Amino acid sequence: MMNCAECRDNLVACAEGLLDREALLECQTHLEACAGCRAEYQAIASLQQRLVARGHAAAEVSMVAPVMQRVLQKRKEPEKETLMSTILKHRWGFGLGAAASAAAIILSTILLTSPNAQAKAVEVMTKGAQAVAKLTSIHLRGQLRTYPQDNFSSINADSPFCTIELWKQFEPEFKWRIEKPQRVAVMDGVSTVMLIKTDDTGVKFPHPSSSAFDTDWLQRIANISNTLSNELNNAQAKGWKLTTTEETAADGKLKDIVTIMARSGVPDNDYGRNNFIGTADTRRVYHFDAQSGLLEAVQIYLVRPAGEVKVFELNEIDYNPSIDPTTWKLELPADVSWAQLEPPKLPDNAKYASMTAEQAARAFFEACSREDWDEVGKFMSPVTADLKKYLGGLEIISLGDSFTSQAYVGRYVPYEIRLKNGDVKKHNLAIRNDNPAGRWQVDGGI
């Protein structure tokens, strides 16, 4: 039997899933019997959740290249003659501006440590970034393998393709709209609103935003100059492989094609792996017109042991289009159900805040079972008519131990339920408590 000192020595390894089966059982047995160690374990787990949430919020950040461009621009040192600047000057014969020369200095560090093929990729992508330096608006139209109503970044290799479209205006006022068949989000310069059409659920932020509702990956592609420099930076920092090929199209025009093998770093056994663009190992293929340097198409392939699957294809890119002002107006149904942005603290908040994920999942399903929708509303917002119809009167068959994923800030609780119509549903409930009230909120997996 493990004593307190031994248990505490093992708490971090236990929380990290590093103990072997025997040590884990001993630790769990001690935790069940010892309130002090249990409180210590819960405090560690709570801190870990906070840290995971913070890391998750910053997962896609990559600003080394833009910062270094600005830094070097500010220093106003005489331009250094680098291999990259030489290539740029000689091949296209245009004078390098301050920003371009700064980029060349940064990118030269890649050249120094990379084979020639990577240098060529750097050259093509740098030219692509320069070609869109004065972008005022953009329209992207592509195809994503995803469920029509699912998150904007969600991918499913077994789904048919759905159309996904982005309109973005940089000047005179920053606005954007993203749409897939059952989900649309609009930032009209004043507020940011999303409508899920399947059940007329709305979410509204009362302020403008540059990105929201899981649209970041596509927003970043639309911001082409940054995307290309970020890809190069990632390739350098994370050792992603870059290759280039040249092709002649049917019309005789020369095309440069840059391929990047991007690794997500999410473990193979992680539940969230391959569910989102950012959690999958992907092969990203960028097609440029060699003459203008403009990006013309993008394909993203999911790389799995079973083989590659194309999950995204961007085949229409309109540069500086005139965008109809009605694009920024979102027609909302009269009976839209607005989601709470953050759950309020309840008079008996402590009762809910002290629950484990498993306890919260059980309380949620039990409330659905007895059709106590006020109670359900303490775990989910909004409680729509469709949700009531679907989950009302359910029967819980089983609930499992919760688990985490690098792709998600909360926890997943495995469940099996029998719906009122007799169908059995087995899935994982996504549930999170990273809100000021500290209450578990159902976030997906229904």
Partner 1 sequence: MDLTDKEYVEHCRDGHPEDFGLLVERYQKPLFAYLTSRVGDSGQAEEAAQESFVRAFLSLKKLRKPESFYSWLLGIAGRVAKEQFRAAVQRQRDREAAETMMSDASDPRETYPLEEAIAALPESHRQVILLRYYERLSCQEVATRLGVPLGTVTKTLSRAYALLRQELAAREGAVPTVNQTQS
Instruction: List residues binding partner 1 (CB under 8 A).
Output: 3-5, 11-13, 16, 18, 33-37, 39-40, 43-44, 47-48, 50-52, 54-55, 57-59, 61-64, 66-68, 70-72, 74-75, 105-106, 109, 206-212, 216, 237, 265-267, 406, 436
Q: In this structure, are residues 417 and 365 in contact, taking their beta carbons and an 8 Å threshold? A: yes
CB 66 → partner 1: shortest distance, Å?
6
CB-nearer residue toward partner 1: 116 or 269:
269
CB-nearer residue toward partner 1: 76 or 90:
76
CB 38 → partner 1: shortest distance, Å?
9
CB-nearer residue toward partner 1: 4 or 133:
4
Which secondary-structure segment (H or E) carries 284?
strand 282-289
CB 141 → partner 1: shortest distance, Å?
23
CB 315 → partner 1: shortest distance, Å?
27
CB-nearer residue toward partner 1: 82 or 146:
82
CB-nearer residue toward partner 1: 117 or 339:
339
Burial class (CB in 10 A: 0-12, 13-18, 19+), 410: buried
CB-nearer residue toward partner 1: 68 or 294:
68
164: Cβ–Cβ under 8 A, 6 or more apart, which residues?
Answer: 141, 142, 143, 144, 146, 152, 178, 179, 180, 218
Distance CA 377, CA 358 (A): 17
The answer to whether the peptide bond before residue 172 is cis (omega within 30 degrees of 0) is yes
The answer to whether the peptide bond before residue 344 is cis (omega within 30 degrees of 0) is no
Q: Whose CA is closest to 321, among 210, 129, 171, 218?
A: 171
Distance CA 319, CA 134 (A): 10
CB-nearer residue toward partner 1: 18 or 346:
18
Q: In this structure, are residues 286 and 258 in contact, taking their beta carbons and an 8 Å threshold? A: yes
Distance CA 242, CA 133 (A): 23
Distance CA 89, CA 73 (A): 18
CB 46 → partner 1: shortest distance, Å?
9
Alpha carbon 47 to its chain centroid, in Å, reads 23
Distance CA 415, CA 401 (A): 9
Distance CA 328, CA 187 (A): 7
Quickly list DSSP for 254-277: EEEEEEEEE-----TT-TTTTSBG
CB-nearer residue toward partner 1: 152 or 364:
152
CB-nearer residue toward partner 1: 48 or 349:
48
CB-nearer residue toward partner 1: 172 or 252:
172
CB 230 → partner 1: shortest distance, Å?
11
Quickly list DSSP for 54-79: HHHHTTT---HHHHHHHHHHHHTPPP
403: Cβ–Cβ under 8 A, 6 or more apart, which residues?
Answer: 271, 411, 412, 414
Partners of residue 138 on adjacent β-strands:
168, 319
CB 19 → partner 1: shortest distance, Å?
10
CB 30 → partner 1: shortest distance, Å?
8
CB-nearer residue toward partner 1: 20 or 331:
20
Task: Give the count of beta carbons closer than 10 Å to the beta carbon of residue 312.
Answer: 23
CB 265 → partner 1: shortest distance, Å?
6
CB 178 → partner 1: shortest distance, Å?
14
CB 234 → partner 1: shortest distance, Å?
11
